[in-house]
């Protein structure tokens, strides 16, 4: 029995894999992966924005090897060096005062939701526990983060959902203002909606949310799980907007391929949670924190983020050369890019794979590009050549 047959028999079917289309990836290096037949693919999915430095980046690999040979795991009952130094580094690089470590984007958003509820009761008083999120958002798969996600298709079958969430329209400040009540504790949004189709926030929208939260003494929470860690050409996406959130969440790319989540809290929120009110067994594990240090070394290196911004503009410009008959809209910030097609996006993604390019289709109509941040113009040109060939093959 081969791997695909074994997977079908022993793994719960939550990913909707199609055996004839899904690769068995055996190894990765830089911007490429290889399947079990030895064929090479240009990877513009990057593990859904996890492999921002490409596959098996040598600095990350070396950091993991070194730390794994020294200390892999203890418990958060004790102090560990890598975790504490990573916390210090993240605070120094951002608007945060303190951080909490966990293992994934869902977990870090759950932590933010819990903190917001505690803030509402402790600081605002009364029954302030509600959080306003955006339609088309995505915040995770556990019950609270699933409820926070403003897409009904993800809710179906899991009712009753967690109470305490209201929804408003992204990039519509008035819509959010209308949802604020005496029960509101926080507003939670993504600076760039990723799973929703790559929709960047308008600067005036996030600036307006900051004013709204200040006016009503609410927490402003930014979910940067996908758009953070250099993906947009800034280390943190909020830096594009001149707005500092009270909480922001990170995961995905920070670990360089290993699981990590971070809830970063500013002055207004850093001291709300008390000992015993939240925890994570594996949060801040020494090995993944060592990997995160290596990731930050690269991301904060001279000229790296400028390279990301420049390649984002170059890639977006090349996409604009594709057939306008099949292209409805291109949305981007840095190297987080969505190409909305008039039709055939799923077929396009499948045909791209056949020709050696991995891209992601969202909702049957949007191609999402999340290439490694280390790509060059030559890699972009190769991807555009494949896309043009595929466009020519589509009816």
Candidates 168, 139, 132; CA nearest to 155 is 139
Distance (Å, rounded) from C-alpha 173 to C-alpha 207? 9
252 is catalytic: yes
| DSSP label at residue 122 | I
Q: Among candidates 213, 199, 219, 232, which has minimal Cα distance to 311?
A: 232
CA nearest neighbour of 259 among 26, 10, 64, 57: 64
The Cα–Cα gap between 261 and 270 comes to: 16
Cβ pair 365, 343 in contact under 8 A = yes
Quote the CA–CA distance of 233 and 174 in Å, as a whole number: 29
Q: Where are the alpha helices (DSSP H) in 200-344?
A: 203-216, 286-299, 304-319
Whole-angstrom Cα distance, residue 238 to residue 232?
10
Q: To 5 degrees, how large is the angle CA 185–CA 138–CA 106?
A: 75
**Catalytic one of 118, 124, 234, 252:** 252
> Catalytic: which of 44, 100, 101, 138?
138
Distance CA 369, CA 358 (A): 9
Catalytic annotation on 153? no
**What is the distance between the alpha carbons of residues 234 and 306, in angstroms, rounded to a whole number?**
8
The reply to whether 138 belongs to the active site is yes
Q: Which of 75, 246, 271, 97 is nearest to 83 (CA)?
A: 75
- Give the count of beta carbons closer than 10 Å to the beta carbon of residue 325: 10
Instruction: Please identify which of the residues 223, 234, 268, 315 carries the catalytic annotation.
Output: 223
**Which residues form the catalytic set?**
138, 223, 252
């Amino acid at each position: 029995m081969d791997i695909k047959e074994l997977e079908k028999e022993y793994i719960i079917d939550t990913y909707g894999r199609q055996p004839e289309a899904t690769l068995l990836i055996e190894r990765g290096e830089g911007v490429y992966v290889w399947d079990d037949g030895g064929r090479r693919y240009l990877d513009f999915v990057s593990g859904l924005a996890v492999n921002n430095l490409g596959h098996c980046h040598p600095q990350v690999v070396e950091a993991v090897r070194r730390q794994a040979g020294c200390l892999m795991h203890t418990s958060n009952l004790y102090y560990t060096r890598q975790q504490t130094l990573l916390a210090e580094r993240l605070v120094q690089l951002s608007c945060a005062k303190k951080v909490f470590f966990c293992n994934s984007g869902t977990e870090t958003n759950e932590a933010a939701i819990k903190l917001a509820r505690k803030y509402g009761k402790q600081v605002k008083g009364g029954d302030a526990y509600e959080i306003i999120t955006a339609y088309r958002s995505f915040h995770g798969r556990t019950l609270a983060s699933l409820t926070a996600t403003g897409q009904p298709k993800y809710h179906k079958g899991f009712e009753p959902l967690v109470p305490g969430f209201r929804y408003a329209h992204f990039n519509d400040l008035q819509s959010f203002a209308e949802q604020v009540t005496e029960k509101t504790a926080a507003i939670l949004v993504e600076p760039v909606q990723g799973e929703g189709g790559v929709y960047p926030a308008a600067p005036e929208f996030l600036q307006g949310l900051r004013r709204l939260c200040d006016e009503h003494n609410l927490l402003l929470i930014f979910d940067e799980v996908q758009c953070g860690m250099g993906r947009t050409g800034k280390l943190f996406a909020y830096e594009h907007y001149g707005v500092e959130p009270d909480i922001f969440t990170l995961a995905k790319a920070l670990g360089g391929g290993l699981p990590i989540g971070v809830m970063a809290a500013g002055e207004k929120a850093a001291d709300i949670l008390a000992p015993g009110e939240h925890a994570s067994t594996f949060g801040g594990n020494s090995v993944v924190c060592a990997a995160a240090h290596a990731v930050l070394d690269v991301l904060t290196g001279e000229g790296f983020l400028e390279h990301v911004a420049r390649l984002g503009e170059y890639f977006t410009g090349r996409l604009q050369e594709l057939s306008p008959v099949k292209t409805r809209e291109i949305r981007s910030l840095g190297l987080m890019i969505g190409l909305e097609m008039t039709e055939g996006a799923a077929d396009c993604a499948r045909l791209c794979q056949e020709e050696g390019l991995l891209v992601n289709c969202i909702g049957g109509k949007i191609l999402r590009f999340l290439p490694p941040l280390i790509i060059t113009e030559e890699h972009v040109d190769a991807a555009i050549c494949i896309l043009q060939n595929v466009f020519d093959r589509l009816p």
